[in-house]
Amino acid sequence: MTKRRDWTLTEKEKKVYENLKKQAERLLHFKKHHQSKRGTARYRAGIYEFCKHLAIHYKSQNFRNISDKHLESFVIESVKAGISSAAIKTDLAAIRKLHSLVSNSRNMLTSDNSKFNLKKRRTRGVDRAWTSEEIARAKQLAKEMDRVHIFWAITITEFLGTRIEEVTALRRTQLKKAINTESLRLVNTKGGIPRDIPLNNGARSIFQTILATPSTTDTIFFGWHGWTHDQAMKSIQNWIANHRTSFMENVLTNDNPYQQSFDIDEMRPRITFHGLRHTFARREYEKRIKQGLSFQTARLQTAALLGHGRDEVTTIYLGKKEDQS
């Protein structure tokens, strides 16, 4: 069960909160922020909680007055509320981003996360990828439930490593062009940086299936059934959360050669849609190693397909603890 900050505001505090919230929305505007709309929404969510904290404990009226002491007390109260260290760190990143956008700030934010004694998030040595069997069972269940869009989304990301906001933003015209050019051009990406992913047989096949399905709109995952883009993403995430026990394997297989080579030693967390990107990364990396490429070259090429510029990022997707030379 997700922990929440159950912070109740008085009527006076609600007015302070609403004022701060409006300031935040003007500064952290969806169209101006460097992140994707989804990333900006997550930042806003964290800042809204910070606004509540300021309203309750400091009666603050303007973000120009915030300082390290406000961040520290926010962290303390969040920990008391049971919020995870990872979530708090994202909130702090959002607050620092907002502070950088405030003109005439009265204080510098100098405290880094180490001062707050937050636990480090374990990103390596953890197996987040879906197995081939899990993917097959999930797609079969989606077909049986007549959730063809779930089937399409899982299949596309399995073969192309797309983020959920990237796959749900796809249009039929993009798929047609991809088949003609043998490469999918993604524009609705994290950070707004377009990237091209070479088509493979699996992606080409699902694109042809989608294009052969009658439709009155160019959009694939939203619009025609009344959903917004955000609702389309949420629908997929909810389906996985509600049905993962039907297709997820419960036990980590410690004798798996891949898991041994990457020192994966932790029990698997609950799989999410993002785990399909881990599966894609693993397959692309292993394919390049079998082709005789060096570890670093394989990581760099895989990172480019994922939309990252550093090979170190690939090690997180691979579940690897230590870099190989």
Q: Summarize the confidence of residues 42-61 as an average pLDDT.
A: 91
The pair of structure tokens assigned to 222 is 């939203």
Q: Which of 118-132, 137-151, 255-269, 305-319 has the lowest mean pLDDT?
A: 255-269
- Count the residues in the chain: 325
167/175 Cα distance (integer angstroms): 11
The strand pairing partners of 185, in sequence order, are: 196
Specify whether the CB–CB gap between 135 and 158 falls below 8 A: yes
Q: Distances from the Cα of 39 to the Cαs of 2, 56, 230, in angstroms?
A: 19, 26, 12
Give 183's DSSP letter.
E
**pLDDT over threshold 70, residue 162:** yes
Closest of 138, 271, 140, 158 to residue 206, by C-alpha: 158
214/210 Cα distance (integer angstroms): 8
Rounded (10°) angle between helices 85-101 and 68-80:
150
Mean pLDDT, the chain, integer = 84
CA angle 141-147-153, nearest 5°?
Answer: 90
Specify whether the CB–CB gap between 176 and 156 falls below 8 A: no
Closest of 151, 163, 148 to residue 272, by C-alpha: 163
- pLDDT (0 to 100) of residue 319: 63
**pLDDT over threshold 60, residue 257:** no
**Residue 181 or residue 270, greater confidence:** 181
- pLDDT (0 to 100) of residue 296: 86
pLDDT single digits (tens) 165-200: 999 999 999 999 999 999 999 988 876 778 999 999
Q: Distances from the Cα of 220 to the Cαs of 83, 207, 228, in angstroms?
A: 36, 11, 11
Q: pTM here?
A: 0.65
- pLDDT (0 to 100) of residue 31: 57
Helices and strands, counts by H and E, the chain: 14, 2
